C-alpha cells in the first residue's frame, strides 16, 4: 500500500483524534497496517473486522491514491487532510424512497434554467423560495420545501443565482485580432531575454482614471474580536485624480507613475518621456491600449526626437499629410520594429492582455476601496506611498504563460477519489434524464 510521509502522518493522527468517528479511525488503521504489507486476514484479526471489509477499504484507498497525491502536491495540508477523511467515509446510502419522481426533478432543473421574467416574475435570477413557489404554481408538485430545492440544486451543481462575465472584442477582423494577441503575448515571453541580452525594457502603460478623493465624515471603527470594522457611509468630495503607470514586465516594478488631474495627449507624452529617462540608453517596448491619446501628435514628436528623426519629415496633422496625417500613419510609425523605442498596441476591447491592469486592481483594493482622503494632495501622497511600498515588498514579475493561441481546458484536471467517482456517476444519471 503506497503512502507518502505526509499521508502517513495524517493517518496516524486520525487514529488518536477523539472528536472523529471511530469508523474513520478504524479505516485509517487498516490503511496503515496495509502499508506494513500485512495480509487482509492478518489485518482483519488485528482490527476485529471481516476480511472482505479490509479488502474493500484497501481497494478504495488504492483507487483514490492518485487524487490524494495530486491534492498533496497542489493544495494545502488542511485540504489534504479533508480529502483523506472524505475518502475514509461511508458511501452514500440510498435512503428511503424519494418523494419526487425523476420527471418532477427534471422540471425543477428546467425551470431553474429559464428566465424568471418568462414566468412573470420581475427579477433576473431565481432563488430557492421562488423556485419552490413556481413548482407548486405550475402543479409540478403538491408541496416542496425550500431547503430541499436548494439541496437538489447543489447536487446537480446548478447555481442560478451566480453569473460569470465575458467580453467580446469589438475587432471585426478575427485574423487581425489573433495576430495582435499573439504579438502581445510573444512580447511578454521574449521580454526576459531581450532585457538580458539587448538591454531592452518591456513596460505596460495605462491610466487609472477618476480616482475620487472622498473623505469619510466620521473616523472608521477598526475591527475587534467578534466585530467587523465599521465605516461612515457619508463622505465629502474633494475632486478626482488620474494615475498613469509604467509597469516593468521583467523586473516586476512600477518604474514610473504620474498622478495629475488631467490625462490628455501632452500628459501622456510627458509620462513616456520621464519613463524613458529612467534608462535613456536602453531600448524600450511599450505595451498599451488603443486610446487616441496613446498615438497623438505629442507622443509621436517625442519618439521622433528621441530617435533623431527630423521633425520636418513628420508632416502636418492639420493638413493630413506625412506621419502625423492620420491615426493609421502615426500608429505605423510608433510600432515600427526597426525603432529603438516602439509601441505594441493590444487589440480593441482586450484590456486583460495588459499586465498593468492587475497592478491597478491591487491599487484599487488596497488604497481606494476603503480609503479616506482629506484632499487631492492627500490622495496623491497615499498613492505614491503605497506604490513605493508595493515595489519594496510584494511586487514581482507575473508568470505569463499564455501564447495567444486557444488552449483546451478541463473543469477538473486532477484524478477523482472513489467517492467523487460515485457521486459523478449519480450526477450523470440525473443529467441524462434532463437530456
Amino acid 245: pLDDT: 97
What are the structural domain ranges in the chain?
5-87, 102-163, 174-222+231-392
Amino acid 410: pLDDT: 46
Amino acid 435: pLDDT: 53
Amino acid 174: pLDDT: 83
Q: pLDDT averaged over consecutive 10-residue blocks of the chain (435 residues)?
A: 90 88 92 92 92 93 92 90 92 76 89 94 93 94 94 89 80 85 94 95 96 93 90 93 97 96 94 96 95 93 93 81 89 94 92 94 95 95 96 93 67 75 72 58
Single pTM value for the model: 0.69
Q: Report the 3 state secondary structure along the chain.
A: CCCCHHHHHHHHHHHHCCCCCHHHHHHHHHHHHHHCCCCHHHHHHHHCCCHHHHHHHHHHHHHHHHHHHHHHHHCCHHHHHHHHHHHCCCCCCCCCCCCCCHHHHHHHHHHHCCCHHHHCCCCCCCCHHHHHHHHHHCCCCCCCCHHHHHHHHHHCCCCCCCCCCCCCCCCCCHHHHHHHHHHHHHHHHHHHHHHHHHCEEEEEEEEEEEEEEEEECCCCECCECCECCECCCCEEEEEEEEEEEEEECCCCEEEEEEEECCCCHHHHHHHHHHHHCCCCCCEEEEEECCCHHHHCHHHHHHHHHHHCCCHHHHCECCCCECHHHCHHHHHHHHCCCCCCEEEEECCCCCHHHCCHHHHHHHHHHHHHCCCCCCCHHHHHHHHHHHHHHHHHCCCCCCCCCCCCCCCCCCCCCCCCCHHHHHHHHHHHHHHHHHC
Amino acid 295: pLDDT: 93
What CATH number does the domain located at 174-222+231-392 have?
3.30.420.10
Amino acid at each position: 500500500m503506497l503512502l507518502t510521509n505526509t499521508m502517513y502522518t495524517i493517518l496516524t493522527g486520525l487514529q488518536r483524534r477523539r472528536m472523529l468517528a471511530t469508523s474513520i479511525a478504524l479505516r485509517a488503521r487498516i490503511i496503515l497496517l496495509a502499508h506494513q504489507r500485512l495480509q487482509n486476514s492478518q489485518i482483519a484479526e488485528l482490527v476485529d473486522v471481516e476480511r472482505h471489509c479490509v479488502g474493500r477499504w484497501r481497494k478504495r484507498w488504492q483507487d483514490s491514491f492518485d487524487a490524494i497525491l495530486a491534492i498533496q502536491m497542489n493544495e494545502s495540508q488542511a485540504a489534504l487532510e479533508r480529502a483523506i477523511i472524505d475518502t475514509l467515509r461511508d458511501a452514500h446510502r440510498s435512503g428511503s424512497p424519494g418523494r419526487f419522481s425523476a420527471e418532477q426533478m427534471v422540471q425543477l432543473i428546467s425551470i431553474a434554467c429559464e428566465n424568471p421574467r418568462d414566468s412573470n416574475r420581475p427579477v433576473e435570477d431565481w432563488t430557492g423560495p421562488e423556485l419552490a413557489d413556481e413548482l407548486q404554481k405550475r402543479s409540478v408538485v403538491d408541496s416542496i420545501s425550500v431547503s430541499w430545492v436548494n439541496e437538489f440544486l447543489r447536487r446537480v451543481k446548478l447555481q442560478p443565482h451566480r453569473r460569470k462575465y465575458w467580453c467580446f472584442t469589438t475587432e471585426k477582423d478575427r485574423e487581425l485580432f489573433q495576430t495582435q494577441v499573439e504579438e502581445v503575448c510573444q512580447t511578454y515571453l521574449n521580454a526576459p531575454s531581450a532585457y538580458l541580452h539587448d538591454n531592452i525594457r518591456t513596460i505596460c502603460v495605462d491610466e487609472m482614471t477618476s480616482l475620487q478623493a472622498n473623505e469619510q465624515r466620521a473616523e472608521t471603527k477598526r475591527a475587534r474580536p467578534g466585530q467587523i470594522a465599521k465605516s461612515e457611509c457619508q463622505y465629502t468630495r474633494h475632486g478626482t485624480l488620474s494615475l498613469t503607470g509604467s509597469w516593468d514586465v521583467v523586473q516586476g516594478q512600477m518604474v514610473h507613475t504620474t498622478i495629475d488631474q488631467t490625462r490628455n495627449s501632452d500628459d501622456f507624452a510627458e509620462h513616456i518621456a520621464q519613463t524613458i529617462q529612467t534608462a535613456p540608453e536602453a531600448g524600450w517596448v511599450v505595451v498599451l491600449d488603443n486610446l487616441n491619446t496613446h498615438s497623438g501628435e505629442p507622443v509621436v514628436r517625442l519618439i521622433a526626437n528621441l530617435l533623431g528623426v527630423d521633425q520636418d519629415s513628420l508632416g502636418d496633422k492639420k493638413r493630413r499629410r506625412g506621419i502625423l496625417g492620420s491615426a493609421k500613419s502615426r500608429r505605423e510609425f510608433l510600432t515600427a520594429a526597426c525603432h529603438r523605442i516602439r509601441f505594441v498596441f493590444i487589440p480593441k476591447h482586450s484590456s486583460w492582455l495588459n499586465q498593468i491592469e492587475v497592478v491597478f486592481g491591487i491599487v484599487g483594493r488596497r488604497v481606494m476601496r476603503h480609503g479616506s482622503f482629506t484632499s487631492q494632495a492627500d490622495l496623491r501622497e497615499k498613492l505614491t506611498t503605497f506604490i513605493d511600498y508595493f515595489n519594496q515588498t510584494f511586487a514581482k514579475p507575473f508568470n505569463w504563460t499564455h501564447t495567444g493561441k486557444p488552449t483546451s481546458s478541463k473543469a477538473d484536471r486532477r484524478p477523482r477519489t472513489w467517492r467523487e467517482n460515485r457521486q459523478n456517476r449519480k450526477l450523470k444519471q440525473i443529467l441524462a434524464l434532463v437530456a
